[in-house]
Amino acid sequence: MTIMDNKSQTAFQNVTLGNNAQIEINQTINSPQTSTKIPSDVRLGSPNFVGRKPDLKNLHEALQSEGKVSVCAVRGMGGVGKTELAVQYALSEEFQQSYLACYWFSLNQGDLATQILLKASPYLAMPEALQKSGSLEAQVKWCWQNWHPSTGNILVIIDDVKNLADIPPALMPIAARFKVMVTTRQRNLSPSFRELPLGILSEAESLELFTKIVDAQGSSRIKNERETTKAICKYLGYLPLALELVANYLKDDEMLSLEDYLQQLHLEDESLADEMVRGITAEKGVIAAFNLSWQRLTGLATQLAMLLGRFAAAAIPWQDLVEPTLNSLGYEKKAVKEARKQLANLSLIEIEDGKNIVIHALLREYFRYQSQQEGDDFIHTLQQAIASSGIAIAETIPYTLVLADIERVGLAIPHLELLSQEMLDDIPDPDNDLFWAFVGLARFYQGQAQYNLAERYLDNCLKAVQSRLGENHPDVASSLNNLAELYRSQGRYESAEPLYLQALELWQRLLGENHPDVATSLNNLAGLYKSQGRYEEAEPLYLQALELRQRLLGENHPDVATSLNNLAELYRSQGRYESAEPLYLQALELWQRLLGENHPYVASSLNNLAELYRSQGRYESAEPLYLKALELTQRLLGENHPDVATSLNNLALLYKSQGRYEDAEPLYLQALELRRRLLGENHPYVASSLNNLAALYYSQGRYEDAEPLFLQALELRKRLLGENHPDVATSLNNLAELYRSQGRYEDAEPLYLQALELRKQLLGENHPYVATSLNNLAELYRSQGRYEDAEPLYLQALELCKQLLGENHPYVASSLNNLAALYYSQGRYEDAEPLYSQALELYRRLLGENHSLVALSLNNLAGLYRSQGRYEDAEPLYLQALELCKQLLGENHPYIATSLNNLAALYYSQGRYEEAEPLYLQALELRKRLLGDNHPDVATSLNNLAIFYETQGKYNEAENLAQQALTICQAVLGTQHPHTLKSLFGVKLLQVMNLLQCDKQTLISILQAIAQQAELPQLNNESALMLLDLITTDSELLQNIRLSLHSDKMPTKRQKPKPSLLTWLQRIVIILLTPFAWLFRLIRWLMRRFIR
């Protein structure tokens, strides 16, 4: 038995909510996670698009150059239709067949690097080191190099490029399969780009556009006033934006003649102020058209337009961002609805998907210009309302971000970024809200494992609050705390600690020693120390936080329950179960009383108490709590919530502990599917689910199913958390465990060593997980027979457990047990016995008489006694172990089969065959039923039963069972595993015993005699297998041995074999000689044998 790492859910304030029970197995994996296709994304085109066929054709030809990446810059003035041309090209059936996928990046929605990473990271498996510490440029370069689909031409559209600095070469794809189109107003953007000037529409196309809009209902206004229409089109410079704007203006006023409108346009043009012309990058005729549409607006329409112009140059979510802003300004809903309708009817805004507002860049300039004419106070009022709405959204972004959250707030992110850059002075209550201008953005990126971006905003937050609120402000402490939390989640403990300490010192200095925020800071620092295994430093901090909360908030407060829970979690980690249980119960009772029976914290508390009972082996007490927690979570949070996946995972873990694998698997699969759907493929919780499902398959002996899942979990953790993270060490350990179980020792050892080194580096030399790694590496060396290498590691692990956890901890008992197992393997029974006895006594004292580890310890001690021939001492222990397993785990558990097998082995050793056989058969049937026909433990039972039948002379039955065992070992463990080789030897031995009709001892004597004549240094398994193969494949040799047996003239060590037998002995000598000698001697042997 080996030490198992356990990471169970810890809930509540300042402790990661919804963290899953994640068990590190120690016996245990493969293709890495594959990248999946990144979905194409192009918005719908305008129904009023006309003409441009030559431009589309020229664009297509410009993008088709071979041998290098093609970049075509569609250049034109504002409003000429560059963006719409790009949309129409991407959607055109004629050109779509040239591309496997198309991707759209609009620089008015954020910088190019961030957009690329957000678009690609959910679908690409970026290396962990690059994810953690690589520059944005390096990450983007990797994304382009590994883009999926990985073959075929890809169309990339980068819209609204202001200058070349927006798209530096480091952010651009370089493979020839990428065809890049950029839209820009900038002439000669780059000498390496093919430039496609986009001109105005022709007169005919302009008339077509006008007719499409104005006469959409079947009227003939354009036909009747064709010449006037031509004049209007010419006056507007044949610019699509202006043409569409004016056409919709005329459509909105059916009584207005085109001639009258043309006169108004002339008058407006003449009256344009120079300031307006300088302030808007549009032609005078277009500005005049804007002015006429502006003058048509009534009521709140102009106010709404000026407000919309103050948002970022990106789609604006109406319900989540605009409506709350209008409400804070006191505008009436009915009037707002009418204003929005006016703006849309006049094409001053576009309503996208019925819920988002899109404004052309020229119109946004125009709206902003109009608001500037109202003065700074007016702008401040608008931006103050926008800031309030943005802060409100930021506050709703949760720590655990699901895909629904990303979709809900994603459109608001460009506006929150603008708020953090340009509206900090407009935040109404900076003392309370400045902090949120950055924290919401950090949570958005951290929730998607974009830690570099999250760190940027948390760092900006710290600088902003320090500069604007002063060094001595509580939000500075909160900012330090949040940055520390980010580092802790990344396993960057050394970076986190000084920030936690600074936050604590600042809160104490600003708020005094007696303040709830000081208690929170103490709690968080204690959580860090607990993660590092620094339990002696964590406990006094948890106790201080608890005492402070009780004194300040009273005994009846949710934060007191949080402290009780967290202290209980610490005690559980230390194996101090008797101290932990009353705290868990107090926390549960307090939450139930304060928050009611129906609250997520109550569900989490039930789960944590259940986890304690599972650790103690009190499975019957744990199961109803897990089930209640799951039902409560589903009812309160809905079926589709990450905490539901956590509850499913934890219940599955219980069933796995009970050997109820068929019950566990569907729960693990549900948890994995739910996390993938809610959190995306690339999330640490998905990695945990993959690991846990793999651990289940490992326990079932389904190694081929387990390996790819372990590898996916490892790769995902490396990519998301970085190479240097404790969870990466756990995955390395698990993969090594699988390889050890498969006999792939050369593959296992470097992984064990990496895990050990990583844990030492991250957690320090003195951490329970370091003891686990030392123990596991020792287990590997013991499996290899490298006892001298194993012993010092076992001793170090034992000493470390005692030092860190005290003499009285289950891990200490496990270490004693493992060291005893080493001595047992070496035949050092006198050294092993006291250690087995100490482990048993310690388990009994810590876990009570009724625990599966007590049963395991009884079994181990009984095995020692059996090996010593102390059968009377062994039997009662085996019986106790069997009875205890039945009582704790039920009749159907793999441990029951093990106990039955061991008891049968004892009876076999005593010659009590009639009692042994039914136990062997029960063990075999139980293992087949619980673990499936192809499990290493089933092979063990088959082998044991084969040996039993062989002893009784039932060679046919024995050979059949041994062959079944060999087939399983070869399929599951591989041909070179020690168990497979041992099984192969048993099968060959039985085959020859059957052929010769002799017992095992006689056959071994024959093999020894042949080995003597062949002058072999010793008869080992390898040379014996050669001899057995020779006997079964050559009929002449087989006949000679039979004659020797029946004539009682089989040569002994002192006798020479008959001449015919001697020829075969010469063949054995030839086979065993060196390669070069073997070649010449084989030729000589063949000549003697076949040329007589």
The pLDDT tens digits of the residues spanning 857-891 come to 999 999 999 999 999 999 999 999 999 888 877 78
Neighbouring CB atoms inside 10 A of 701's CB total: 23
Per-residue pLDDT for 37 more than 70? no
Residues 217 and 349 in one domain: yes
42/483: higher pLDDT: 483
- DSSP-derived pairing of the beta strands 194-197 and 178-184: unpaired
- DSSP-derived pairing of the beta strands 356-358 and 316-317: antiparallel
- What integer pLDDT is reported at residue 709 of this predicted model? 96
Which residue range(s) make up the domain with 894? 849-927
Cβ density class 763-786: b for 16+ within 10 Å, e for less: beeebbbbbbbbbbbbbbbbbbee
Which range has the worst mean pLDDT, 606-620, 969-983, 1063-1077?
1063-1077
Sign of CA dihedral 128, 131, 133, 137: positive
The pLDDT tens digits of the residues spanning 172-181 come to 888 888 899 9
- What integer pLDDT is reported at residue 706 of this predicted model? 93
Q: Residue 291 and residue 32: Cα distance in Å, rounded?
A: 60
Overall average pLDDT of the 506-522 stretch: 94
Overall average pLDDT of the 565-590 stretch: 92
Which range has the worst mean pLDDT, 49-63, 595-609, 632-646, 1022-1036?
1022-1036
Q: Which two tokens stand for residue 915?
A: 């009692």
Residue 1064's identity, in one-letter code, is W
Neighbouring CB atoms inside 10 A of 886's CB total: 16
Per-residue pLDDT for 440 more than 80? yes
Task: Answer with the one of 175, 197, 219 that is the final residue of a domain.
Answer: 197
Q: Residue 558 and residue 537: Cα distance in Å, rounded?
A: 24
The pLDDT tens digits of the residues spanning 823-839 come to 998 999 999 999 999 99
Going from the C-alpha of 971 to that of each of 73, 241, 471, 777, 964, the distances in angstroms are 59, 70, 66, 26, 11
Task: Answer with the one of 174, 197, 220 that is the final residue of a domain.
Answer: 197
Q: Residue 117 and residue 489: Cα distance in Å, rounded?
A: 21
Domain contains 642:
no
534/829: higher pLDDT: 829
Residues 150 and 299 in one domain: no
Residue 978, preceding bond cis, omega within 30 degrees? no
Domain contains 452:
no
Domain contains 116:
yes
Residue 759: name the closest of 960, 532, 541 by CA: 532
Residues 338 and 249 in one domain: yes
Q: Classify residue 1053 as exposed, middle or buried by CB count within 10 Å of its CB (0-12, 13-18, 19+).
A: exposed
- What integer pLDDT is reported at residue 511 of this predicted model? 92
995/942: higher pLDDT: 942
Q: Classify residue 352 as exposed, middle or buried by CB count within 10 Å of its CB (0-12, 13-18, 19+).
A: middle
Going from the C-alpha of 177 to that of each of 66, 118, 144, 900, 1020, the distances in angstroms are 8, 22, 11, 64, 61
- In this structure, what CATH number is given to the domain that contains residue 963? 1.25.40
Report yes or no: 73 and 111 within 8 Å, Cβ to Cβ: no
How many domains does the chain contain in total?
5
Confidence of residue 280 (pLDDT cuts 50, 70, 90): low
58/561: higher pLDDT: 561
392/285: higher pLDDT: 392
The pLDDT tens digits of the residues spanning 1047-1082 come to 654 444 334 444 444 444 444 434 433 333 433 343
Residues 911 and 1003 in one domain: no
Domain contains 295:
yes
The pLDDT tens digits of the residues spanning 998-1016 come to 888 888 888 887 777 666 6
Residues 919 and 1051 in one domain: no
* DSSP type of residue 513: S
- What integer pLDDT is reported at residue 277 of this predicted model? 58
Per-residue pLDDT for 509 more than 60? yes
Q: Which two tokens stand for residue 600?
A: 């997520």
Q: Residue 926 and residue 899: Cα distance in Å, rounded?
A: 11
Going from the C-alpha of 813 to that of each of 573, 771, 798, 833, 867, the distances in angstroms are 15, 13, 9, 14, 22
Residues 269 and 325 in one domain: yes
Report yes or no: 937 and 894 within 8 Å, Cβ to Cβ: yes
Q: Classify residue 334 as exposed, middle or buried by CB count within 10 Å of its CB (0-12, 13-18, 19+).
A: exposed
Report yes or no: 743 and 976 within 8 Å, Cβ to Cβ: yes
Confidence of residue 208 (pLDDT cuts 50, 70, 90): confident
**Long-range contacts for 483-487 (Cβ within 8 Å, ≥24 apart)?**
483/455, 483/458, 483/459, 484/524, 484/528, 485/524, 486/442, 486/446, 486/451, 486/454, 486/455, 486/458
Per-residue pLDDT for 9 more than 60? no
Q: What are phi and psi of 833, to 5 degrees?
A: -55, -50
The pLDDT tens digits of the residues spanning 412-425 come to 999 999 999 999 99
The pLDDT tens digits of the residues spanning 699-709 come to 887 888 999 99
Length of the chain: 1092
Per-residue pLDDT for 298 more than 90? no
Q: Which two tokens stand for residue 216?
A: 């959409």
- In this structure, what CATH number is given to the domain that contains residue 860? 1.25.40.10
- What integer pLDDT is reported at residue 772 of this predicted model? 92
- DSSP assignment of 231-245 equals HHHHHTTT-HHHHHH
Domain contains 1078:
yes
Residue 699: name the closest of 8, 30, 6, 25 by CA: 25
Residues 947 and 1051 in one domain: no
Residues 993 and 1003 in one domain: no
Q: 275: helix, coil or strand?
A: helix
Overall average pLDDT of the 632-655 stretch: 89
Residue 26's identity, in one-letter code, is N
Which range has the worst mean pLDDT, 140-144, 351-355, 400-404, 899-903?
400-404
Domain contains 612:
no
Overall average pLDDT of the 525-543 stretch: 91
Residues 1012 and 965 in one domain: no
Task: Answer with the one of 352, 367, 399 that is the final residue of a domain.
Answer: 399
Per-residue pLDDT for 983 more than 90? no
Residues 133 and 188 in one domain: yes
> Residue 894: which residues within 8 A CB-CB, separation 6 or more?
659, 926, 927, 930, 931, 937
Q: Which run of H or E residues covers position 24?
A: strand 22-24
Q: Residue 570 and residue 576: Cα distance in Å, rounded?
A: 9
Q: Which two tokens stand for residue 468?
A: 């604007």
Domain contains 463:
no
Helix orientation angle between 852-867 and 894-909, rounded to the nearest 10 degrees: 20
Residues 920 and 1011 in one domain: no
* Angle in degrees, CA 11, 12, 14, rounded to 5: 110
Q: Classify residue 1084 as exposed, middle or buried by CB count within 10 Å of its CB (0-12, 13-18, 19+).
A: exposed
Q: Residue 731 and residue 714: Cα distance in Å, rounded?
A: 5
Q: Which two tokens stand for residue 503?
A: 């936050």
Q: Is 0.75 topped by the overall pTM?
A: no
Residues 159 and 229 in one domain: no
Q: Residue 83 and residue 859: Cα distance in Å, rounded?
A: 76
- What integer pLDDT is reported at residue 1015 of this predicted model? 67
Report yes or no: 733 and 751 within 8 Å, Cβ to Cβ: yes
- What integer pLDDT is reported at residue 278 of this predicted model? 61
The pLDDT tens digits of the residues spanning 669-710 come to 999 999 888 777 877 889 999 999 999 998 887 888 999 999
Report yes or no: 776 and 745 within 8 Å, Cβ to Cβ: no
The pLDDT tens digits of the residues spanning 217-264 come to 767 788 788 888 888 888 887 888 888 888 888 887 777 888 888 888
Overall average pLDDT of the 181-208 stretch: 86
> Per mean pLDDT, which of 370-384, 755-769, 1027-1041 is the most reliable?
370-384
Average per-residue pLDDT in the chain? Answer: 83
Q: Which run of H or E residues covers position 711?
A: helix 703-721
Domain contains 687:
no
- What integer pLDDT is reported at residue 330 of this predicted model? 92
Q: Which two tokens stand for residue 853?
A: 């580890």
- DSSP assignment of 306-338 equals HHHHTS-SS-EEIIIIIHHHHHHHT--HHHHHH
Beta bridge partners of 194: 72
Residue with tokens 């039985």: 990
- What integer pLDDT is reported at residue 1081 of this predicted model? 41
- What integer pLDDT is reported at residue 377 of this predicted model? 94
Report yes or no: 665 and 696 within 8 Å, Cβ to Cβ: yes
Sign of CA dihedral 832, 833, 836, 837: negative
Per-residue pLDDT for 27 more than 60? no
Q: Residue 543 and residue 550: Cα distance in Å, rounded?
A: 11
